[in-house]
Amino acid sequence: MISIKEIQSKSDLSKFVKFPFKLYKDSKYWVPPIIKQELETFNKEKNPIFKDAEARFFLAYKNDEIVGRIAAIINWLEVNNQKQKKMRFGWFDFIDDPEVSKALLTEVERIGKENNLDYTEGPVGFSNLDKVGVMTEGFDSIAPMITWYNHPYYAKHYEDFGYVVEKHYSESRFPFENVKPEFFKKAQELIKRRYDLKPLHLTKTEDVMPYADKMFDLFNKSYSSLSSFVAITDIQKEYFKQKFISFVNPEYIKFVVDKHDELVGFAIVMPAFSKALQKAKGKLFPFGFGHILNAKKNSKDVIFYLIGIHPDYQNKGVHAVIFNEYYETFRKKGIQTCFRTPELEDNDAIHKIWKHFDPVVYKRRKTFRKSLNA
């Protein structure tokens, strides 16, 4: 007998966050989140996403033991402004028991119907900067900190309960030795002269911050044409600056500006924190912070997190300027492997940018949807 309990207390929310630690305790590839940060993500007083979204959290029990969890999410900006009547769900984990996954998804569908929404889609987070997709390939490699890892049986549970694939994502990697400067060295000099552009060389986090708002504005502009995009609001910018920027080496954030000092391109690369987070085991203290700091300074693997080009400069080679900057930085630091975050497989523009580096897809993931009008 499966029973579903909606979370109402801090202690239950803690159980929600900690459930995957039990589910994946024997996995070499699952990467635990920092428990404190995960709790803050779900804190309506601290996460400004709750100004425009709502979420309800559920735990599944079997024989008085937690066997699954799910977050049911409505992003009202998406529903009201974009007219996408979507019921989101994420943080969906469960044992290999179809009664468990069915019971949790049924709660999501009930809430969607109560709010007159048209369909469910997941796993997704609150916004485009959250984790996305259930993994369908690549189970034998460690997960980046900015993605979800899951057991191979997950996708079948979606399919058996009537869900169909909505979007396809792929993750790729390439050795830094694949980066040949002849592909962009001369081109970036020409592009800088032709459009009167210059890269910024920032070495301190406080130097990055004045450009951070412009970066998120440019993010909104450059990604607005993609399916399921939800713009970042002004209040969310402050939250994301505090959440992400401090984790990133300032020299791993690249800005390209025009002659008026207006931002036309940016990229964020993060050190690979996965192994450090495995050592931290969900806690910053007493030793977790040290593991993360060491990875920030010394990791030889990096993850390309975001790259955005102003629509007026897309297809004009601005990415060559960005790649040249990273080449010089990575060469000095002895970077060995470059990873890319999940990217929509139909995003041809981004795939063309990377083609010269011969990336290899090593993970795939999908989101699933189901109509609520049947």
User: For 218-260, how does the pLDDT look when each residue is reduced to its tens digit (9 = 90+)?
Assistant: 999 988 776 667 788 888 888 888 777 877 899 999 999 999 9
12 bridge partner residues: none
Domain identity same for 181 and 163: no
Helix and strand numbers (H, E) in the chain are: 12, 14
- Residue 101's alpha-carbon distances to 66, 109, 209, in angstroms, are 12, 12, 42
Residues 6 or more apart whose Cβ sits within 8 Å of residue 126? 47, 49, 53, 55, 73, 75, 88, 90
Q: What's the CATH number where 131 sits? A: 3.40.630.30
Please, what is the average pLDDT of the chain?
94
- CA–CA distance, 211 with 50 (Å, rounded to integer): 25
Report pLDDT for 236: 86
Domain identity same for 218 and 195: yes
| Cβ–Cβ < 8 Å for 101, 69 | no
Domain identity same for 93 and 153: yes
Q: Give residue for tokens 């889609």.
A: 121
Residue 209: how many other CB atoms lie within 10 Å: 13
Report pLDDT for 230: 79
Domain identity same for 208 and 163: no
Q: Which has more confidence, 52 or 229?
A: 52
Report pLDDT for 352: 82
- CA–CA distance, 192 with 309 (Å, rounded to integer): 14
Domain identity same for 188 and 317: yes
Domain identity same for 142 and 217: no
Q: Which has more confidence, 167 or 226?
A: 167
Report pLDDT for 165: 98
Q: Which domain holds residue 140?
A: 2-171+367-371
Residue 106: how many other CB atoms lie within 10 Å: 12
Domain identity same for 156 and 250: no
Read off the pLDDT of residues 176-198 as tens digits, 9 standing for 90 and up: 999 999 989 999 999 999 999 99
pLDDT for 48 beyond 70? yes
- Overall number of domains in the chain: 2
Domain identity same for 227 and 342: yes
Domain identity same for 224 and 111: no
Read off the pLDDT of residues 122-141 as tens digits, 9 standing for 90 and up: 999 998 779 999 999 999 99
Domain identity same for 167 and 179: no
Domain identity same for 24 and 126: yes
- CA–CA distance, 242 with 47 (Å, rounded to integer): 11
- CA–CA distance, 12 with 16 (Å, rounded to integer): 6
Domain identity same for 202 and 267: yes
DSSP helix/strand/coil, 122: strand
Read off the pLDDT of residues 250-291 as tens digits, 9 standing for 90 and up: 999 999 999 999 999 999 999 999 999 999 999 998 899 999
19-38 mean pLDDT: 97
